Amino acid sequence: MEFMEGVNRKDTLEISELLAGDYTGKEVKINGAVHTIRDMGDVAFVVLRKREGLLQCVYEEGVTDFDIKTLKEASTVEVEGVVAVEDRAPNGIEVRLKTIKVLSEPTEPMPLAISKWKLNTSLEAKLAMRPISLRNVRERAKFKIQEGIVRGFRDFLFKEGFTEIRTPKIGAKGAEGGANMFRLEYFHRPAVLAQSPQFYKQMMVGVFDRVFEAAPVFRAEKHNTKRHLNEYTSLDFEMGYIDSFEDIMAMETGFLQYTMELLQKDYAKELKMLNVVLPKVDKIPTVRFDEAKKLVSEKYDRQIKNPFDLEPEEEVLISQYFKEEYDADFVFVTHYPSKKRPVYAMDDPADPTYTLSFDLLFRGMEITTGGQRIHDYNMFMEKIAARGMTTEGMEQYLSAFKHGMPPHGGLGLGLERLTMKLIGEDNVRETTLFPRDLSRLEP
């Protein structure tokens, strides 16, 4: 009988292993994809692409036991050679090849010059050839940083006593209602895809006090803008026993502080590759919605057109204002008008036309919506009635309130938008592996 006893350790080395041990002058075995070949005649530079970066290998005729003319870019190989210090090579080392073994070969030449530092191609082309364009090391670096943001979110919230939950994406009713739901047939019953885990995370506050989820949400919005996707990743948390909605903003500030530190620590290579300067998050200004409107109207001589919502242009100006006045990259805009917030939002007792809610703007764009929720069943029923809404399909959700819920609130954060603004991109498709929009359903 054969047994599996744990991870098979390999004799092939990764870049971090090469850099950690003193392998100079020693023979090593390495695998990777042939990123580029620069053939100089007797000598050729073969750069391997590995998960941790690029590694320069030197082919020398007579020394390397292989015919370099037969090696194709985009092949995958396993090579043996001797490590040498070489300041001009990535990471300061190179491998002087003795052998090359081809593991696989492409059948066609690359449609994109992925080995260039910057892919000189349109977003359209990059998305149409996604499995190839992502092989560019700067393209893939964006998604390492995105990974780091999600790690930061989870690790920070675990530390703060949150429980990770998994809520269904197919349901009978959407959390926000309205027209922007994808509809499907579920065994002869009408169903929708989740716009948000809102109802579920609130129900789970009654169970675990503090919960979070990082998962896809779906919105059938017919916007074809640089900031909208029809499927995106929502980082959601919801917490009970809050004293005010400011506890939610404080928790988000803590998340941002933790995550910027994590990125600096574990993703410094990718930040450098993309020339990212991390934003300051030691303190984030807060401003009331109506006050923010007034401030930018005055400073930038702009008429207030819609008193109940922020236009994208106003988000830009509010960010500009707080950058200029306070050198702030983020700003919390609080107390949104009640009529523009969902029914579950807690109205401000001081003035119920406003809510105890907020958006977080980051470099000109809304990336988070959050706030305190109604926790009292009777108050909830009154607000539902006042809006002329039905409770149909909300029975289970409302039962959580009937049977006691702590004061609570939470937020939802768009991962792709945060990533985009953090790395200085201007289209959310740049920070989505396989975007779904009005025209894109593949790859």
Residues 129-188 that bind a second copy (CB under 8 A): 129-132, 134-135, 140, 143-144, 146-147, 150-151, 158, 160-161, 163-173, 182-187
x/- binding map, residues 264-293, to a second copy, per CB under 8 A? ------------------xxxxxx------
| Contacting range for a second copy; rule: CB under 8 A; set: 84-92, 298-306, 343-351, 430-438 | 430-438
Tell me: does residue 10 bind a second copy (CB under 8 A): yes
Joined together, the tokens standing for residue 288 give 């009331």
Binding to a second copy (CB under 8 A) within 105-134 occurs at 105-108, 110-111, 129-132, 134
Rounded-to-integer distance, Cα 86 and Cα 430, Å: 34
Rounded-to-integer distance, Cα 336 and Cα 320, Å: 20
Are 346 and 321 in contact, with CB atoms under 8 Å apart? no
* Amino acid identity, position 96: R
Tell me: does residue 377 bind a second copy (CB under 8 A): yes
Are 222 and 431 in contact, with CB atoms under 8 Å apart? no
**135 or 383: whose CB is closer to a second copy?**
135
Q: How far apart are the two ends of the chain, measured CA to CA in Å? A: 43
321, containing H or E segment: helix 312-326
Are 222 and 183 in contact, with CB atoms under 8 Å apart? no
**84 or 128: whose CB is closer to a second copy?**
128
| Contacting range for a second copy; rule: CB under 8 A; set: 26-34, 87-95, 349-357, 362-370 | 26-34
Rounded-to-integer distance, Cα 357 and Cα 307, Å: 16
Rounded-to-integer distance, Cα 91 and Cα 309, Å: 50
**88 or 188: whose CB is closer to a second copy?**
188
| Contacting range for a second copy; rule: CB under 8 A; set: 61-69, 92-100, 303-311, 394-402 | 394-402
Binding to a second copy (CB under 8 A) within 184-213 occurs at 184-187, 189, 191, 193, 200, 203-204, 206-210
- The least CB distance from residue 150 to a second copy, in Å, is 7
Question: Which residues are within 8 A (CB) of 33 and not within 5 positions of it... i.e. 6 or more apart?
Answer: 48, 49, 50, 74, 75, 76, 77, 135
Binding to a second copy (CB under 8 A) within 299-318 occurs at none
Among residues 21, 92, 312, 406, the one that binds a second copy under rule CB under 8 A:
406
